[in-house]
Structure formats: C-alpha cells, structure tokens
Amino acid sequence: MKPNTIFTLSTVILLVSFGCTGLFKEKKVKVPPGSYDVTPAPLVIGAGDVIAITSFTEKLPTGEFSVNEQGTITYPFVGTIGVIGKKPDEVRRTIIEKLKDGFFRNPVIYVSFKLNKSQTITVFGFVKNPGSFVYEPQITILEILAKSGGLLTTADNESITVIRKQLGRNLRIKVSVNDITEGKTPNFKLLPGDLIVVPERFL
C-alpha cells in the first residue's frame, strides 16, 4: 500500500472519530473571543515520549529516557516506574521518594520533556504535506501550516477549519489565513489534539 493511501485511510478514520463526515457542508463559526490566546492544560507523559532527567546529586545519572508502550521508564537505583499520564514534576517527586527509601538522603533531580511525541496536531486537506506533527507550546496555525509544506494553490485559505475537542464536544472554528497575514486578526494558537482541515477553493 502506498504511503499516501495509508495516510488517507488513517485520516478518514480520524475525521470519523471527530464526527466530521459532513464537515464541508456545515456552517462554521468565526474564531470565538478568547481563542487567539489559549492556555493549554499541562502536558502529560505518553508512550513514545522522551523525558530528560537532570541530576544534581553525586552518583545519580543525568540522561534521556524513552517511555515504552507499557508507559514505563527505568532509572538507576529506582528500577521501573510508571510515568504515563503524569506530569514531569509528578515523576520527579516519585523518583525522589523512591531514592529516599534507598541510599540517598536528599536527592535533587529535575525532570522535563525532551520529545513529546504523544501530543500531536493533525493537518488534513489541501496542503503539500498533510500529516500529524508534534505539538509545541504556543504554536500557531501559520506555523503548523508551514510545517505541512504550505497551502496548495487550490486551497481555500479563507475557510480553514480547526476542530477542537472541548468539554466532550467538537468545536469547529473557522479561521482565515488572509485575515491573519493582513493583520486583521491575531495569529490563532493551537492546542494538542487539534485537527486542521484545509478545504479546496471552489471557483
């Protein structure tokens, strides 16, 4: 099966999961107030992520640790610990508690994201390279469109739709790239899990 075909099939499944089978027929709303500057929920660790553990204690190593499919990492003097669904600071506290039960009286470490693969934004439609991209804090719609290779000449840049899960429902937000580039509206900030749909321009 060709890669483009694989992506198309996976995207159809994703669109169905968002309830978007009638997406292009629906009337969309303009960007609601407060949507330009959003504060995402704290990122939690998922399978495939890479976290960095920085040690300020002698004999405790500093390194990068990949989260396996079981949602665990293995750290020296601690062993295997579950990290999936936790924030980095929660993992830090867990490791410190386990170290204190062993040979370390006042261990000091810092835990942070090195690579957050489990939080993504998906771009579908009339862009050069549709696909899923790793979420970066404060990333905007113009930046994610650039990551996808930019709009095709046949894209409707006045009617891009951002589909966002909010309070158990799908919020569909219409975004105009022209309005953003002309300074009429601020650049639209995205959240983890957002789906961006770029429709074709009909002449």
Task: Determine the average pLDDT of the residues in 174-190.
Answer: 92
End-to-end C-alpha distance for the chain, whole angstroms: 33
Instruction: Say how far apart CA 66 and CA 75 lie, in whole Å.
Output: 11
Amino acid at 93: R
Per residue in 5-34, pLDDT (tens digit) is 444 444 444 554 555 544 444 444 455 554
Non-local (6+) Cβ contacts of 83 within 8 A are: 45, 51, 67, 71, 72, 73, 91
Which residue type occupies 194?
Answer: D
| 131-134 and 160-166 strand pairing | unpaired
Q: Which domains does the chain have, with CATH numbers?
A: 3-41+119-198 (3.10.560.10), 50-115 (3.30.1950.10)
> pLDDT, tens digit, for every residue of 37-60?
556 667 889 999 999 999 999 999
Q: pLDDT for 103-115, tens place per residue?
A: 899 999 999 988 8
Q: Mean pLDDT over all residues of the chain?
A: 84
Query: For residue 51, what is the DSSP state?
Result: E
Work out the average pLDDT over 137-157: 94
